[in-house]
């Protein structure tokens, strides 16, 4: 292991139903069989970072004392994630209700449960202080993200996946080293009607943070850093089965690559390959690819290259 990643975030059990289409308001439709699988943005990203290889990965999160928690912890351990700092509380484990349409697109509602009670105390802060990269998202209280940012050592990177979208306080903006957002989340964070395309959104965000990755689904991603020309990373063409957790896989692999010392654009290329593989399989953590699969896909020619 050449790096250390600590993921501070949510853990949910995913209840997934395939649907012919997503229902409209007030509508009932019949779906397929119910699937129950491990998920949550934080836990998914931790699994992605651990399976990426080369970075020891710890997860700081909170779960209940129910069988959903047992499912989540077992999945994380299978992926190689350290779970000794996960809180077990006398509240229900977080649950995500997910519908998946035939084109692989999903709609998600989350009941946070134990995630709302997460805190960073001395043992968690000590592990965070030893990390090269701290990765967080916004399915947990903002005060927890703040505490994680404050606990990291000088020189360590805070990578924030600002999802689900919500306003960020100034002190958290100031702490972020790499912001990862999709196009919709980027637009929510930018108070500039003239910034409508990914490049314009990234430029506006660079006024607040040193580096931005805007993920664009099937159109790839845009990597932008202050003082440097933006880099477009094309998506790998695949047939999507289920997009649940693909963005989380992207973030986890990106964090692991940065912890190993990779350049941000190179890290994004690995992350893009991992995200592409993830959408070809159902589930979230269950769909995270192995490092060897990611390396093989990333080593091939990029789409559009000669």
Which residue, among 120, 118, 121, 57, has the nearest Cα to 93 in the 3D structure?
Answer: 118
- Is residue 93 a contact partner of residue 86, using CB atoms and an 8 Å limit? no
Catalytic residue among 132, 242, 248, 286: 248
Q: Other CB atoms closer than 10 Å to residue 289's CB: what's the count?
A: 23
Radius of gyration of the chain (CA): 18
| Known catalytic residue at 248 | yes
Tokens of 224: 């932008």
Tell which residue, 36, 31, 53, 40, has the closest CA to residue 12.
Answer: 40
Instruction: Read off the tokens for 151.
Output: 């606990």
Q: How far apart are CA 215 and CA 250, in angstroms?
A: 9
Cβ neighbours of 301 (radius 10 Å)? 7
Q: Which residues are catalytic?
A: 248
């Amino acid at each position: 292991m050449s790096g250390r990643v600590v993921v501070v975030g949510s853990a949910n059990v995913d209840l997934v139903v395939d649907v012919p289409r997503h229902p409209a308001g007030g509508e009932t439709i019949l779906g397929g069989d119910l699937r129950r699988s491990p998920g949550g943005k934080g836990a998914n990203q931790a699994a992605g970072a651990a399976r990426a290889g080369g970075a020891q990965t710890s997860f700081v999160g909170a779960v209940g004392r129910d069988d959903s928690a047992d499912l989540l912890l077992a999945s994380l351990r299978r992926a190689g994630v350290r779970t000794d700092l996960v809180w077990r509380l006398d509240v229900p484990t977080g649950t995500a209700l997910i519908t998946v349409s035939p084109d692989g697109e999903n709609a998600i509602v989350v009941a946070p449960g134990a995630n709302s009670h997460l805190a960073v105390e001395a043992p968690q802060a000590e592990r965070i202080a030893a990390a090269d990269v701290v990765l967080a998202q916004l399915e947990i209280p903002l005060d927890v993200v703040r505490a994680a940012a404050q606990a990291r050592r000088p020189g360590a990177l805070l990578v924030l996946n600002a999802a689900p979208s919500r306003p960020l306080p100034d002190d958290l903006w100031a702490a972020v080293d790499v912001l990862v957002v999709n196009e919709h989340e980027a637009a929510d964070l930018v108070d500039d009607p003239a910034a409508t395309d990914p490049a314009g959104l990234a430029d506006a965000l660079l006024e607040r943070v040193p580096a931005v990755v805007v993920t664009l689904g099937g159109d790839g991603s845009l990597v932008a850093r202050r003082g440097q020309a933006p880099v477009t990373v094309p998506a790998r063409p695949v047939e999507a089965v289920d997009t649940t957790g693909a963005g989380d896989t992207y973030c986890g692999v990106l964090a692991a690559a940065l912890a190993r010392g990779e350049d941000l654009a190179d890290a994004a290329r690995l992350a893009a390959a991992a995200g592409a593989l993830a959408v070809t399989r159902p589930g979230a953590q269950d769909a995270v690819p192995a490092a060897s699969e990611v390396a093989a896909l990333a080593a091939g020619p990029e789409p559009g290259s000669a």
